[in-house]
Amino acid sequence: MPKDTKALNSTPLSLIARPLVTVDIAIFTVKNEKLQVLLVKRPNNEQEHFTEKWALPGGFLDIDIDKDLNSCALRKLKEKTNVNSPYLEQVGAWGSKDRAPTEWSITHVYFALLNSDKVILQKGGNAAEVAWFPLIDNQVKKQLAFDHNELLDLATQRLHAKVEYTSLPAYLLPDEFTLPDLQKVYEIVLNRPLDKSSFRTRILSTNLIAPIPNKMRPATHRPAQLYRLTNPDTLTYFPRSFKYNEKALKS
Amino acid sequence: MPKDTKALNSTPLSLIARPLVTVDIAIFTVKNEKLQVLLVKRPNNEQEHFTEKWALPGGFLDIDIDKDLNSCALRKLKEKTNVNSPYLEQVGAWGSKDRAPTEWSITHVYFALLNSDKVILQKGGNAAEVAWFPLIDNQVKKQLAFDHNELLDLATQRLHAKVEYTSLPAYLLPDEFTLPDLQKVYEIVLNRPLDKSSFRTRILSTNLIAPIPNKMRPATHRPAQLYRLTNPDTLTYFPRSFKYNEKALKS
DNA sequence: CTAATAGTGTCTGTCAGACACTATGGC
DNA sequence: GCCATAGTGTCTGACAGACACTATTAG
C-alpha cells in the first residue's frame, strides 16, 4: 500500500510524522542610496545551532497565533521593524530532509519592501541584534545561518525580475514622492541608470501614481511635483510581449 | 516572551505543534486540442471528508520517503501518470487554520506540464478514478474537494502568465514537433490565435529549438521541418521591457 | 544673471503584427 | 493543373532610448 494513503485509511492524522514549519523574510529597503536587507543576529546559546550567526528574520509557525502563513510573516516582520503594512509577497517554499541540522523542515520564504523611515528596529524575541546590510552584487557579504544565503538569493532574484516590469520600487518610498525619487529607487534596485524621458512616459502611461494638486517639493532649483500611489494595495504590471491582439481574435 | 522564541529557549522541537503538510499538483496537458487537467476522485469512505469529490492529485508529505518537496510532488505525479520527468514548477504554499476541515494545514501547490501520449493513467493508492478534465474559461466546471478550485485557479493563472514570455508550451508536445505544432499549443493555452510570421521569428530568434537535419513530417501538402528542444531542461525566457541599455551604463 | 534640477520635444532604430506572397508536397 | 499547409518578405505603426531643449526655482 502506498505510504501516502495512510491518512485516507483512517490512520489518525496525529500519527503522521510532520516536518518543522518555519517562515523567513527578506525585508528590503533603500537606505543611503543602497538596497539593504534586514538581518538578525542569533543569540549566544550553547544549545542552539548557528549561534551568533546573522540570519533572515523568521522562525516557527505558531498555529495558535497565526491564522495563515501571511499573518505569520507579518507578525515576524512587525516584531523586528514595528511596521504593519509593507508590501509582502511569498517567494516559495523550500523543504528537505537535510536543509536544517536536525530535522525534515520546510521554510516559507517571503520578501517585503518598505520605506526605512517607517522602521523602528527592535531586537526583542530571539534576536541579539538587528541591522540593515547592503546588497553588493546582489548578495550580502556575510555567511548566514542555515541555508539563508540561498534563501536570500532567491528573494533577491525574484525582486530583480519583478522590478523590470512592475511598480514594486514604489513601495520603497514614503507616501509622497516625486518622479525623480521614483526613478532613483528603480536605478538603485536595478543597479543601472534609466533614461528620464522614457521612464516618465512609462510610469505616467499607467495610472500607478497621481499628482497631489498644487503640492511640489521645494528646492534650490525647479521644484518637483509630488505624487502618491493611486492604489497602494495593487501592484502595477507594465505591458510585455506576445501583445494582445484584438484584430486577430476576431478572425 | 514572544511565542516564537520557544524553540530558541530549548523547548524541545518535538513539543511545537505542527500543521499538516501536503502537496497538490495541477497536471496539465493538451488533448483533443484542449488544455486539460488531471483530477482524481476521492474514495467512498465514510470517515473521509469530501468523499467521492474530484480533487487535484496530491496528499501528505512523507518525511520517511521524500527527500524534499519536489521529490514529493514527483512521487505523486508518477503514481497517477507513470511519468518520470515532466516540467514541474512550484506555484506556492497556501496554509491557514481553516482551509481544511479539521486542522491547521499547509499545501504546496505545483503545476506540471506533460505530453499526454506519455501518460498511463493509474488509479492506485487513494484514487477511485483518475481522468482528464478540460479547462473552460480557465476553470474546470466542477466543484472540487477542499479549496482545490482556488488552488487550480492559482496554478492556471501562473501557467497563463508565464506562457506569454516563456517556452513552457513546448513541454506539452512530444519530443519531435514542427513549428506549426508549437504555435498550435501556444494558441490553445493562450486561447487566442497568433500571427505565424511573428511567432516563427520570435521562436527562431532564440536557440530554444533546433531542426532535426533532413527530417520532415510528411503530409498531403508541403511537409514541415521537425524540431526538438535544444536544451530540454532549461526554460527559455523571451525578452521583455526596461531593456538593458549598454550605452547608458557607461555614462 | 548662473546653477541645478524638473520636465518636454524630437528623432531614429527596432520590432511585432498584418498580410500578401512564394514553396512544396499529394493528388 | 488544384488544394492545403509550410514558410518568407514587406510594410507600417508603436514605442523605447538618445539626447537636446525648455521651465522654474534660489540666490
In the predicted structure, residue A158 carries a pLDDT above the cut 90: yes
**pLDDT confidence bin for A186, thresholds 50/70/90:** very high
Residues of B in contact with A63 (CB under 8 A): 17-19, 97, 104
Grid coordinates of B247? 550605452
CA angle B108, B112, B113 (to 5 degrees): 165
Mean per-residue pLDDT over chain A, rounded: 88
Q: What is the average pLDDT across B142-160?
A: 96
Rounded distance between C-alpha atoms, residue A66 and residue A75, angstroms: 8
Ramachandran class of B79: left when φ > 0, alpha when ψ lies in -120 to 50, beta otherwise? alpha
Nucleotide nearest to B199 (CA to C1'): C16
Query: Given an 8 Å threshold on Cβ–Cβ distance, is B68 in contact with A124?
Result: no
pLDDT, residue B4, reads 43
Per DSSP, chain B holds a count of helices (H) and strands (E) of: 5, 10
Residues of A in contact with B96 (CB under 8 A): 67-69
- Chain A nearest C-alpha distance from B179 (Å): 17
Residues of B in contact with A52 (CB under 8 A): none
pLDDT, residue B2, reads 42
Rounded distance between C-alpha atoms, residue B67 and residue B94, angstroms: 21
- Chain A nearest C-alpha distance from B173 (Å): 20
A36 SS3 class: strand
Query: Given an 8 Å threshold on Cβ–Cβ distance, is B125 in contact with A62?
Result: no
The Å distance, CA of B139 to C1' of D8, is 38
Rounded distance between C-alpha atoms, residue B113 and residue B87, angstroms: 5
pLDDT, residue B101, reads 83
pLDDT digits (tens, 9 = 90+) for A131-156: 999 999 999 999 999 999 999 999 99
The Å distance, CA of A200 to C1' of C8, is 11
Residues of A in contact with B106 (CB under 8 A): 21, 69, 106, 108
Q: Is the CB of A120 under 7 A from strand D?
A: no
Please name the residues in contact with A162: beta carbons below 8 A apart, sequence gap of 6 or more. A168
pLDDT, residue A2, reads 42
Query: Given an 8 Å threshold on Cβ–Cβ distance, is B242 in contact with A164?
Result: yes
**pLDDT confidence bin for B236, thresholds 50/70/90:** very high
Nucleotides of D under 7 A from a protein CB: 3-10, 16-20, 23-27
Nucleotide nearest to A199 (CA to C1'): D16
The Å distance, CA of B198 to C1' of D12, is 14
- Rg of chain A's alpha carbons, rounded to an integer? 22
Q: Which fold has domain B165-229?
A: Arc Repressor Mutant, subunit A (1.10.10)
Grid coordinates of B166? 516563456
pLDDT, residue B42, reads 86
Integer CA distances (angstroms), B177 to A104, B199, B224, in order: 42, 15, 9
The Å distance, CA of A221 to C1' of D25, is 4
Q: Nearest CA to B6 among A63, A160, A236?
A: A63
Q: Nearest CA to B167 among B211, B134, B204, B219?
A: B204
In the predicted structure, residue B37 carries a pLDDT above the cut 70: yes
- From the list B47, B90, B239, which residue is nearest A92 (CB)? B90
Q: DSSP labels for B121-188?
A: ---TTT-SEEEEEE-BTTB-SSPPSTTHHHHHHHHHHHHHHHHTTB-GGGGGS-SSEEHHHHHHHHHH
Rounded distance between C-alpha atoms, residue A225 and residue A75, angstroms: 36
pLDDT, residue A69, reads 98
Pick from A50-59, A186-195, A209-218, B185-194: least confident: A50-59
CA angle A147, A152, A153 (to 5 degrees): 100
CATH of domain A166-229: 1.10.10.10
> Which CATH entry fits the domain spanning A3-162: 3.90.1150.10, 3.90.79.10, 3.90.650.10, 3.20.20.140?
3.90.79.10
**Domain map (residue ranges) of chain B:** 17-148, 165-229
The answer to whether B70 and B88 have CB atoms below 8 angstroms apart is yes
The Å distance, CA of A160 to C1' of D17, is 21
Query: Given an 8 Å threshold on Cβ–Cβ distance, is A63 in contact with B97?
Result: yes
pLDDT digits (tens, 9 = 90+) for B9-27: 445 666 788 999 999 999 9
Q: Is the CB of B214 under 7 A from strand D?
A: no
**Nearest residue to nucleotide C16 when comparing alpha carbons to its C1'?**
B198
Q: What is the average pLDDT across B67-72?
A: 97
Give the CATH architecture of domain B17-148: Alpha-Beta Complex (3.90)
Residues of B in contact with A4 (CB under 8 A): 59-60, 62, 75-76, 125-126
pLDDT digits (tens, 9 = 90+) for B110-133: 999 999 999 988 876 676 789 999
pLDDT, residue A196, reads 95
* Residue found under cell 519592501: A113
Rounded distance between C-alpha atoms, residue B34 and residue B139, angstroms: 12
Instruction: Tell me how far the alpha carbon of residue B217 is from its chain's centroid.
Output: 29
Query: Given an 8 Å threshold on Cβ–Cβ distance, is B92 in contact with A92?
Result: yes
DSSP annotation of A171 reads: G
Element (H, E) at B23: strand B20-31
In the predicted structure, residue B134 carries a pLDDT above the cut 60: yes
